[in-house]
Structure 1
Amino acid sequence: MAGSESHYILDLPKFDKPVKVLIVVSPYYKDIADNMVAGAVAELEKAGAAHEIIEVPGALEVPTAISMAHRMSNYDGYVALGCVIRGETTHYDTVCNDSSRGMTLLGLQGACIGNGILTVENRKQAEVRADPADQNKGGGAAAAALHLIALGRRWGNETRGVGFKPMGEFQIAEGTTKA
């Protein structure tokens, strides 16, 4: 059982400038979501990060809400929280895969997301993972977001000219430019 293994946990990053994080939570299983939010908030406060919390109906809406906030707001990072418990149909697989895929794609586009959406076989597994005094997956998701924010800030000012330059001004001949 994974709960009996020990894991190495990185120290929280330190920040010179304020950090603002959006927690997006699906309270479909309210008690589990509340425990995950408590763990995430405690971790963010430990790092001195400001946070806001919004609720969405289900795990499938979490990536959409994060995408909207990433495009239209000024958050440094995001914590995705929720729980999907296996049922009798294949809907479980769809919700797990699509919510995870949505967050992965957002992350690859530059959003700093800590994914704390639990995908479990039963309620007991969810309760153990959500409990801040046990596996604290909400706190782990917040820590992941903070680490990605720190990496983004570390590399955000790189000016090595990596990749392609957008077309605009380009050189036609020595000393001549055209827009």
Structure 2
Amino acid sequence: MASSITHHTLPLPSFDKPVKLLIVVSPYYKEIADNLVTGAKAVAEAAGATVDVIEVPGALEVPTAIALAERMAKYDGYVALGCVVRGETTHYETVCNDSSRGITLLGLQGACIGNGILTVENIDQAIVRADANGQNKGGGAAAAALHLIALARGWAGAASGIGFRA
């Protein structure tokens, strides 16, 4: 069981310049979403980041909203939050796979995203994972975004010259 395994958590990075995060949340399961946002905001605040929060209808819309913000707004990183609970149809697999794939593709294009969209079998699992005083998956997603921002800033301007690298 995963609860018996010790998890290592990286210390939050520190920043010389301000960090601005956008939390994109699907409040389909409102209580779960609110707990995820609470955890994400607390971690962002602990790292000195400022946060804006927007809501979208469902998990499938989260990557699209992040893509729009990446093109049209000024954010250093993004926190994707929501919850998908397995139902009786294959819709669960579609929503889980496509929202995750969209977030991954944006990340591979350079967006700094922490993925905190829960994919669970039942609401009880979601409650445990979303609890800001428990597993705090919202906080974990914010921390992931912050670590990626720190990496990106550390590597910014590191490339020099033109052409291919050896």
What's the TM-score once normalised by structure 1's chain length?
0.89
Count of residues in correspondence between the two structures: 164
Q: SS at 1:38's partner residue?
A: helix
- Structure 2 residue runs of 5 or longer lacking an equivalent are none
CA deviation profile, 1:38-85 (whole Å, cap 9, x unmatched):
000000000000010000000000000000000001100000000000
Q: Residue 97 of structure 1 aligns with which residue?
A: 97
Q: Distance in 1 between matches of 2:100 and 2:37?
A: 19
Answer yes or no: is the 8 Å Cα contact 1:112–1:149 preserved in 2.
Answer: yes
Q: SS at 2:139's partner residue?
A: helix
Q: SS at 2:132's partner residue?
A: coil
- Structure 1 residue runs of 5 or longer lacking an equivalent are 165-179
1:37 deviates by 0.3
Q: Residue 2 of structure 2 aligns with which residue?
A: 2
Q: SS at 1:21's partner residue?
A: strand
1:163 deviates by 5.4
Q: Distance in 2 between matches of 1:134 and 1:158?
A: 39
Answer yes or no: is the 8 Å Cα contact 1:63–1:102 preserved in 2.
Answer: yes
Q: SS at 1:58's partner residue?
A: coil
Answer yes or no: is the 8 Å Cα contact 1:3–1:135 preserved in 2.
Answer: no
Q: Distance in 1 between matches of 2:54 and 2:163?
A: 36
Return the index of the structure with the highest Cα Rg.
1
CA deviation profile, 1:59-115 (whole Å, cap 9, x unmatched):
000000000000001100000000000000000000000000000000000000000
Asked if 1:63 is matched to 2:34, the reply is no
What's the TM-score once normalised by structure 2's chain length?
0.96
1:158 deviates by 1.0
Asked if 1:80 is matched to 2:92, the reply is no
Percent of pairs with identical residues: 75
- CA separation of 1:163 and 1:34: change in aligned 2, threshold 3 A: farther
Q: Residue 149 of structure 1 aligns with which residue?
A: 149
Q: Distance in 1 between matches of 2:161 and 2:26?
A: 40
* Counterpart residue identity of residue 56, structure 2: V
RMSD: 1.0
1:2 deviates by 1.8
* Counterpart residue identity of residue 81, structure 2: L
